[in-house]
């Protein structure tokens, strides 16, 4: 009887330790959600970096809303951006609007990067992804391969830089590259790219969510799992199935972009890149209809940002709009919208 009591006490003690461990994990996850980490969420505002245009870098240290825009030297496209913390106390969205010259080509590079677990990953991707891309030896000759390589390389380098960090950080990326008459859109995560072609809203990226059949299968094949914790999450933690960073989940949460190419012609009117702070409350069709009459790309981006806020978006809100200007009518189009 004494032996049985000792055995029972040891089992009870083991159960207590296990329950305490599970309680610790549960409280950690609750803390992430309460603090705004719905995608695994603090930091600096993104800023404009335009290499060949006349725009200079802008940084809002107080996390107030910022906006701006520009026009390509060849007059073929204009762009605008607007970014705000929204109702969040911290800012984890970054963006890039950049015009560069590569092998005699005027190249437009645009991106929205939505961080989670802090802003380290989003800031790193914003600062390094496009530089890695345009320095790729096949950037002009095989742009799709160059984009895929740049995503993978940037992710790998970020993870190396994170060796001494105690907390995981990650980021989405929705990017658009303009080279000649080609528009290449690449995406990881749930920031989204939508074009207006012939007056119609067309999604040119896919949100990467763990409950999608192919994404769930890929995660499970790699040894991971997807479970419900307020929403479907990888390992019960992360609400996107692809991202930069996220070292502890890297085996399952890859930074392999899906890439779609579109021809730039007279039917292509404009492109919207935005974080889920917009898309959570505004549909693709609504966004396109809302800014279709607005010729000034910056004004259009601000319109989307303000609408998302007014509709109660609970996240950071960042929007980039690129307008395609045929027959080199860039200057007159932009001035007429003033």
Provide the sign of the torsion angle of the four alpha carbons 240, 290, 200, 337, taken in this order.
Answer: negative
Cα–Cα–Cα angle for 154, 158, 162, rounded to 5 degrees: 170
Residues 202-209: contacts with CB within 8 Å, 24+ apart? Answer: 202/284, 203/284, 204/260, 204/262, 204/271, 205/174, 205/258, 205/260, 206/258, 207/276, 207/279, 208/240, 208/241, 208/242, 208/243, 208/258, 209/239, 209/240, 209/241
Closest listed residue to residue 116, CA positions, set 275, 333, 307: 275
**Distances in whole angstroms, Cα of residue 274 to Cα of each of 91, 104, 319:** 15, 29, 4
Contact 242, 171 (CB under 8 A): no
pLDDT of residue 166: 82
Can you give the pLDDT at residue 176? 99
Phi, psi (deg, nearest 5) at residue 310:
-65, -25
Look at residue 22 in the predicted model and tell me its pLDDT: 46
- In a structure prediction context, what are the per-residue pLDDT tens digits for the chain, which is 338 residues long? 544 444 444 444 444 434 443 444 444 444 444 344 444 432 333 323 333 443 333 444 457 899 999 999 889 999 999 999 999 999 999 999 999 999 888 999 999 999 999 999 999 999 999 999 999 999 999 999 999 999 999 999 999 999 888 889 999 999 999 999 999 999 999 999 999 999 999 999 999 999 999 999 999 999 999 999 999 999 999 999 999 999 999 999 999 999 999 999 999 999 999 999 999 999 999 999 999 999 999 999 999 999 999 999 999 999 999 999 974 444 434 444 43
In this prediction, residue 62 carries a pLDDT of 58
Can you say how many angstroms the Cα of residue 204 is from the centroid of all Cα atoms in its chain?
A: 14
- CA dihedral (321, 322, 325, 326) in degrees, to 10, reads -130
Angle at 91 between CA 175 and CA 30, to 5 degrees: 105
CATH topology for 35-337 is: Phosphatase 2c; domain 1 (3.60.40)
Whether the CB-CB separation of 231 and 239 falls below 8 Å is answered with yes
| Residue among 119, 67, 127 nearest 98 (CA) | 127
pLDDT of residue 328: 42
């Amino acid at each position: 009887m004494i032996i049985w009591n000792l055995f029972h006490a040891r089992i009870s003690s083991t159960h207590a330790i296990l329950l305490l461990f599970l309680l610790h994990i549960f409280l950690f996850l609750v803390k992430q959600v309460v603090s705004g980490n719905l995608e695994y969420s603090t930091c600096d505002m993104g800023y404009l970096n335009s290499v060949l245009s006349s725009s200079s870098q802008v940084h809002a240290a107080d996390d107030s809303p910022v906006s701006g825009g520009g026009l390509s030297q060849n007059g073929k496209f204009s762009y605008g951006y607007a970014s705000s913390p929204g109702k969040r106390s911290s800012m984890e969205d970054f963006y890039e609007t950049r015009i560069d010259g590569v092998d005699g080509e005027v190249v437009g590079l645009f991106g929205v990067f939505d961080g989670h677990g802090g802003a380290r990953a989003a800031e790193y991707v914003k600062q390094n992804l496009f530089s890695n891309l345009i320095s790729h030896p096949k950037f002009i000759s095989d742009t799709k391969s160059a984009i895929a390589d740049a995503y993978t390389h940037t992710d790998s380098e970020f993870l190396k830089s994170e060796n001494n960090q105690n907390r995981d950080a990650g980021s989405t990326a929705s990017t658009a590259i303009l080279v000649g008459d080609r528009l290449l859109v690449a995406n990881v995560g749930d920031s989204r790219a939508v074009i207006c072609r012939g007056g119609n809203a067309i999604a040119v990226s896919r949100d990467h969510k763990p409950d999608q059949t192919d994404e769930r299968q890929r995660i499970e094949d790699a040894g991971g799992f997807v479970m419900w914790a307020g929403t479907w999450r990888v390992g019960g933690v992360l609400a996107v199935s692809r991202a930069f960073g996220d070292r502890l989940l890297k085996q399952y949460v890859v930074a392999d972009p899906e890439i779609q190419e579109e021809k730039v012609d007279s039917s292509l009117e404009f492109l919207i890149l935005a974080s889920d702070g917009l898309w959570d409350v505004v549909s693709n069709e609504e966004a396109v209809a809302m800014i279709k009459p607005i010729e000034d790309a910056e004004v259009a981006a601000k319109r989307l940002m303000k609408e998302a806020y007014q509709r109660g978006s609970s996240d950071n809100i960042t929007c980039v709009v690129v307008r395609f200007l045929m027959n080199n009518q860039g200057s007159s189009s932009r001035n007429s919208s003033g």
